[in-house]
Amino acid sequence: MNQIIKTSDPAVKALCPVAESEGIATVFDRYQAQQPQCGFGSLGLCCRICWKGPCRVDPFGDGPQAGICGATRDTIVARNVTRMMAAGAAAHSEHARHVALAMQRVGKGQLPAYQIRDPQKLFRIAEKLGIETQDRDMLDVAYDVASKSLEDFQNQDHHKGCNWISSSLPQKRLNRLKKLGVLPHNIDATVAQIMARTHIGCDAEPQNVFLGGIRGALADFNGMALGTELSDVMFGTPSPIVTEANIGVIDKDAVNIAVNGHNPLLSEVICDVAREMNDIAKAAGAAKGINIVGICCTGNEVMMRHGIPLATNYLSQEMAILTGALDAMVLDVQCIMPSLPQIGNCFHTEVITTSDENRIQSARHVSFHEENAVENAREVIQYAINAYTRRDPKKINIPAIKQTAVVGFSAEAIVAALAKLDADDPLKPLVDNIVNGNIQGVALFAGCNSTQTTQDESYQVIAKILAANNILLLATGCGAGAFAKHGLMTPEATKQYAGESLKAVLTAIGEAAGLNGPLPLVLHMGSCVDNSRAVAVATALANRLGVDLSDLPVVASAPEAMSEKAIAIASWGVAIGLPTHLGTMPQVTGSDAVTALMQQGAKELFGGYFLIETDPKVAGNKLVDVIKQKRQGLGI
Ligand code: SF4
Ligand code: MSK
């Protein structure tokens, strides 16, 4: 193998040679093996919707210009991207449904492993959803909140919007979306409708297909908001906590267990049970007991709630095993590489799937069910301890690379920090500083890692440009992981990279909040399902200023968007009015009509639009310009 390692992460660079010497293929090798990737697929011009296909449209105009059924390039591209939005919505919303169903059972007292850890938030949500709270038992309210949330999967009345979206966006935005006919009434029905309308011989009008996709993307937002908020109720609303990130958090003197995926239902219980089983690990010879580390978005979930260190983000999940000191990797759902068990087999690592709907060939499977959560957690931890005893000391190679990260900035935590400056009106300091220009605007970094670019690099380049221009930075998902690993979630990064006025504001807030220095340069808002937290902050700002979200100097950036979930997130970002940067080339450019629809067309319809730019420096400067234009529009 002749390795080309597309990463900026020093830990990954340190571990790839281990893979090479062991003859193990990693994501970077498999990327090389796929070159050149199919041009038709890259442009979105390959249709496999029926078995007369696959059909491909010639992008140069010489060959076929329609599929066998007559579908044009515009129809084919629109259907492909719309189906991606539906898949993203389905993935986030399955996660949300899982959490809501669990909370319903907590309300009935049927799941002793779980509690309501944030009752205040429960009651706030109940009021927001119009549920009676006066003199009511907490568990009854929890049951009703979960049931009302599940209505968003069941309602058949097209005139009634989903409960969560209706109570989460500014009225002006809801009116605009309603007028366009893109507000979902039911998450499941919206996903099913997209699959139906994109079946062969159905909706072939590209804009109509795409707007159907936008409704799916807004269903994704609804599922995401619901999943985030109910998780906070059950597991606690994040508040700032200091931890560490990158592969050096794996400890050779401990039983190391990585939790990887997205859904916190099992990982939360693993954290609880690990404390009880620490002595068993010590008795097996691990001087420091059990060390839980996070990967990907399950990693973000446990990091922001418990300060569990983050081992790495999506693209480098295989690297944790290459350290030779990872005893188990426990997998739940989404963004998990099917290659993990093969790599685990080259070491002593137990790779354990836990979701019956998400299994991987040759992985050990422990079927997780909430009613058996404690037993399930004990079982996987015991597998890890047993594996620890089989470790080969000669294979241990943990690069001593890690960074401090201050994480856990939920919307509530941000408001609480601001309240230290103005207890009666916490939003006022933020609004005042945006209006007076000390903070020029806000950028939300979301999304994945992708082999199409250099891992984590664009995040850093763009963030440094925006910060120097006094733009407040928020991050979720693998973007948050990137910033944590590269030391940009620290007060020191603020001192080094923030423009003078932004630095002054972050310092004033940080010192008032008792942090003895500025807030970190990038505020960690959670996993990729937690983008709704940033929307909550933006909605509060818009309501306060009496404007729509598209008027605000707020942008989103997904420099390494890769998954169908990321396509859904970016699409609802556009639909709620945000200029949304994509740093990887979306698979739509085979259709001028769809590409134009996502840019100028979307701008006219929604105020938000896709800004496609693969060069991070150019992208950063373009986002600064967008923020300036938005400020001009507001007259500030
Ligand atoms: Fe080809 Fe039409 Fe079938 Fe797509 S739906 S594979 S374009 S015949
Ligand atoms: S895990 S969707 S690679 S953010 Fe949330 Fe990361 Fe993207 Fe998966």
Nearest ligand for residue 314 CA: 2
Locate the DSSP E strands across 166-300. 241-245, 255-261, 290-295
Please report where in the chains the tokens 């800004």 appear, as a residue. Answer: 611
94, 224, 449, best to mutate for ligand 2 pocket (most atoms within 8 Å of CB): 449
* SS3 state of residue 260: strand
Is there a binding annotation on residue 271?
Answer: no
Q: Are 555 and 514 in contact (CB under 8 A)?
A: no
How deeply is 632 buried, as exposed, middle or buried, from its count of CB atoms within 10 A (0-12, 13-18, 19+)?
exposed
40, 45, 48, 52, best to mutate for ligand 1 pocket (most atoms within 8 Å of CB): 52
Length of the chain: 636
Residue type, 625: D
Whether ligand 1 lies within 6 angstroms of the CB of 55 is answered as yes
Distance CA(219)–CA(161), nearest Å, equals: 10
What CATH code would you report for 404-634?
Answer: 3.40.50.2030
Residue 150, token pair as written in the block? 């599940």
Is there a binding annotation on residue 528?
Answer: yes
For residue 75, give the ligand 1 atom closest to its CA.
7
Q: 86: Cβ–Cβ under 8 A, 6 or more apart, which residues?
A: 190, 191, 194, 195, 213, 216, 568
DSSP string, 112-180: TT---S-HHHHHHHHHHTT---TT--HHHHHHHHHHHHHGGGT---TTS--HHHHHHS-HHHHHHHHHT
CA dihedral angle for residue 602, residue 606, residue 608, residue 613, rounded to 10 degrees? -10
Whether ligand 2 lies within 6 angstroms of the CB of 569 is answered as no
Enter the ipTM.
0.95
Whether ligand 1 lies within 6 angstroms of the CB of 47 is answered as yes
Is 3.40.50.2030 the CATH number for 247-395?
yes
Distance CA(387)–CA(345), nearest Å, equals: 12
Q: 550: Cβ–Cβ under 8 A, 6 or more apart, which residues?
A: 173, 576, 577, 578, 606, 607, 608
Q: Which protein residue has the closest C-alpha to ligand 1 atom 7? A: 67
Tell me, in angstroms, the distance from the centre of ligand 2 to residue 477's CA. Answer: 6
H or E segment to which residue 441 belongs = strand 441-445
Give the pLDDT confidence score for residue 216 in this predicted structure. Answer: 98
Give the pLDDT confidence score for residue 515 in this predicted structure. Answer: 85
Is there a binding annotation on residue 46?
Answer: yes
For residue 446, give the ligand 2 atom closest to its CA.
4
Distance CA(189)–CA(197), nearest Å, equals: 12
Architecture of the domain delimited by 73-235: Up-down Bundle (1.20)
Residue 3, token pair as written in the block? 């390795």
Whether ligand 2 lies within 6 angstroms of the CB of 559 is answered as no
Alpha-carbon Rg for the chain in angstroms: 24
Give the pLDDT confidence score for residue 3 in this predicted structure. Answer: 66
Q: Which protein residue has the closest C-alpha to ligand 2 atom 7? A: 448
Q: 414, 453, 484: which is closest to 582 by C-alpha?
A: 453
Give the pLDDT confidence score for residue 4 in this predicted structure. Answer: 81
Nearest ligand for residue 315 CA: 2
Whether ligand 2 lies within 6 angstroms of the CB of 447 is answered as yes
316, 562, 582, best to mutate for ligand 2 pocket (most atoms within 8 Å of CB): 562
Give the pLDDT confidence score for residue 516 in this predicted structure. Answer: 87
563, 564, 569, 584, best to mutate for ligand 2 pocket (most atoms within 8 Å of CB): 563
Is there a common fold for 73-235 and 404-634? no
Whether ligand 2 lies within 6 angstroms of the CB of 297 is answered as yes
Is there a binding annotation on residue 335?
Answer: yes
Whether ligand 1 lies within 6 angstroms of the CB of 68 is answered as yes
Q: 303: Cβ–Cβ under 8 A, 6 or more apart, which residues?
A: 243, 245, 294, 309, 310, 405, 407, 408, 484, 524
Is there a binding annotation on residue 202?
Answer: no
Tell me, in angstroms, the distance from the centre of ligand 2 to residue 218's CA. Answer: 18
Tell me, in angstroms, the distance from the centre of ligand 1 to residue 82's CA. Answer: 16
Helix/strand number for the chain, H first, E second: 26, 16
Distance CA(82)–CA(76), nearest Å, equals: 10
Give the pLDDT confidence score for residue 615 in this predicted structure. Answer: 98
Whether ligand 1 lies within 6 angstroms of the CB of 448 is answered as no
Tell me, in angstroms, the distance from the centre of ligand 2 to residue 478's CA. Answer: 5
Say which DSSP state 37 is in.
P
How many of the other CB atoms lie within 10 Å of CB of 562?
Answer: 20
Say which DSSP state 473 is in.
E
Whether ligand 2 lies within 6 angstroms of the CB of 310 is answered as no
Residue stretches of the chain with pLDDT short of 50: 1
Listed in sequence order, the DSSP H helices in 44-108 are: 73-107
Strand partners, 546: none
Strands 290-295 and 310-312, how do they pair?
A: parallel
Tell me, in angstroms, the distance from the centre of ligand 2 to residue 335's CA. Answer: 6
Is there a binding annotation on residue 162?
Answer: no
Strand partners, 55: 47
For residue 53, give the ligand 1 atom closest to its CA.
6
Residue 528, CA distances (Å) to 261, 342, 456, 480, 524 in order:
11, 27, 16, 9, 11
How deeply is 124 buried, as exposed, middle or buried, from its count of CB atoms within 10 A (0-12, 13-18, 19+)?
middle
Nearest ligand for residue 295 CA: 2
Whether ligand 1 lies within 6 angstroms of the CB of 49 is answered as yes
Q: 211, 200, 161: which is closest to 183 by C-alpha?
A: 161
* SS3 state of residue 311: strand
Tell me, in angstroms, the distance from the centre of ligand 2 to residue 260's CA. Answer: 11
Q: Which protein residue has the closest C-alpha to ligand 2 atom 8? A: 335
Residue 116, CA distances (Å) to 17, 33, 102, 300, 359 in order:
46, 48, 11, 20, 30
Strands 46-47 and 255-261, how do they pair?
A: unpaired
Sequence-separated contacts (24+) of 540-544 with Cβ below 8 Å: 540/411, 540/427, 541/427, 541/430, 541/431, 541/434, 542/170, 542/172, 542/173, 543/170, 544/427, 544/431
Is there a binding annotation on residue 346?
Answer: no
Task: Give buried/exposed letters for 519-550 (b at 16+ CB in 10 A, else e).
Answer: bbbbbbbbbbbbbbbbbbbbbbbbeebebbbb
Domain ranges of the chain: 73-235, 247-395, 404-634
